[in-house]
Homo-oligomer: A and B are copies of this chain.
Amino acid sequence: MTKVCLVIGAGAGIGGNVGKKFALEGYHTVLCRRSDQEGLDRLVVDIKESGGEATGILLNAAKEDAIEQLVAKVEADIGQIEVVLYNVGSQIGNRSLEDTTLKIFELGWRMATFGLFRLAKALFPLMEERGGGTVLVTSATASVRGNAGQHSHAASMGGRRMLCQTLNAEYASKGIHIAHILIDGAVDAPDTLGKMIGPELFEKLRDAKGREKDGLLLPEKMAETYFHVAQQHRSAWTHELDLRAFSDLAWWNHAP
């Protein structure tokens, strides 16, 4: 029986790398992202060439019924979703209150909070019936502290964290492991950070902090921890953990 690892939000960073890790460990990975069929194909080909199984699906998670249909389709056509990575974020850089339109604010919530709720509504009854499953949620510093310019991001990720705790309180004892993985730093991810700040700045950042300095979070290394959490024995589950580069200060610290 094919066991599926479903990745919602699969760029060349966390999503792609976690998906690949699970594929190499025997899961059929289903990678979903909003756009860029070519980029998606590259991720799928890479996994296949490494000996894993993968499928790519373009998906607008904010669209009505999109997540619900995805779950149904994957379960019908590919296999049981044993692990899902919810990796859709709402980071849009810093925008003042004035520059954050009602539409942007709502979209952040649709992607970061509502999407996870819809996923749980669609998937948890199936997981519960099968006795369990794992939901890995990529989270951000904004889930635990608001900051200037983070109206949409902080409100949606803060809501998401409370939703994760709610889901955990209701479903952990039914065998569904929900893990809230707080990424507290810049990820070496061309598809997200790279696009947000532009390729030039991104290369500069890589020179300054990344590469052999290991000061940017490396997605393929993060994937090790995502995978470990999904394998934890049910007598010892982690609900919340953080990840940051060794050379970064934690969000609660300031440079002296």
Give A residues with C-beta under 8 Å from B: 94, 96-98, 100, 102, 105-106, 109, 113-114, 117-118, 120-121, 124-125, 142-151, 154-173, 175, 177, 188, 214-218, 221-222, 224-225, 228, 231-247, 249-254, 256
Contacts and interface: CB of A to CB of B under 8 A. Distances in A.
9 contacts: A97-B124, A155-B166, A158-B160, A159-B159, A168-B250, A188-B235, A221-B233, A237-B243, A240-B241
A205 to B, nearest CB: 14
A171 B250 CA distance: 12
| Copies of this protein in the complex | 4
Given A215-B235, A225-B236, A236-B217, A97 B121 contact: yes
A125 B124 CA distance: 44
Contacts of A124: 97
Nearest to A209: B235
A256 B94 contact: yes
Given A155-B162, A232-B221, A147 B169 contact: yes
A117 B214 contact: no
Nearest to A145: B252
Nearest to A165: B146
A242 B162 CA distance: 16
Contacts of A253: 145, 147-148, 165, 169
Contacts of A231: 224
Interface centre among A149, A170, A244 (most CB of B within 10 A): A170
A113 to B, nearest CB: 6
A245 to B, nearest CB: 5
Contacts of A225: 228, 232, 236, 238
B155 A163 contact: yes
Given A109-B109, A156-B159, A240-B241, A145 B172 contact: no
